[in-house]
Amino acid sequence: MDSSNRVEAEILLCQLSELEEMQAIELEIEQRKLFAIRQDNQLRAYWNTCPHLGIPLNWMPEKFLDLDGSLIQCSSHGALFQIDSGECIAGPCTGDHLQQVELRIDGDSIYVAANQPMPAAPINLRAQALADLEDS
């Protein structure tokens, strides 16, 4: 497992034309999840980690928006985030921001840019518990 907290190489995320307005797409890079939403013909991308507890925002695949479809909503405790800035405007982490994913745009192709920081890998509690058992 790669323990570095950087995206080493550029990765194709999608073709912008494949997405409808306000449609989301997800991708996983070395156990870190990210998502992107098409808004106003642009793609806004964030690491899928809520600033409140550091857990993924969504329960359902590619479902990130509130009932109005105008804000990103965390499914755990309801924090609401602006789509264009990632700023939390309501909920337990108000004022915090989602961590933006840097993209590179080449025509219709959207890439996750290389050489950018990414969140720490999630801890696998089950694997950790089994390793601890073996050690004892």
Residue 53 Cβ, how far from ligand FES at the closest point, in Å?
4
Q: How many residues bind ligand FES (CB under 6 A)?
A: 10
Terminal-to-terminal C-alpha distance of the chain: 24
The residues in 23-62 that bind ligand FES, with binding defined as CB under 6 A, are: 50, 52-53, 55
Tokens 């980690």 sit at which residue? 49
Nearer to ligand FES, 15 or 85 (CB): 85
- 88 burial via Cβ count (<10 Å: 0-12, 13-18, 19+): buried
> Is residue 82 at the binding interface for ligand FES, with CB under 6 A as the rule?
no
Name which position in 34, 43, 45, 79 contacts ligand FES (CB under 6 A): 79
The residues in 83-122 that bind ligand FES, with binding defined as CB under 6 A, are: 91-92
Helix, strand, coil tally for the chain in percent (to 5): 10, 35, 55
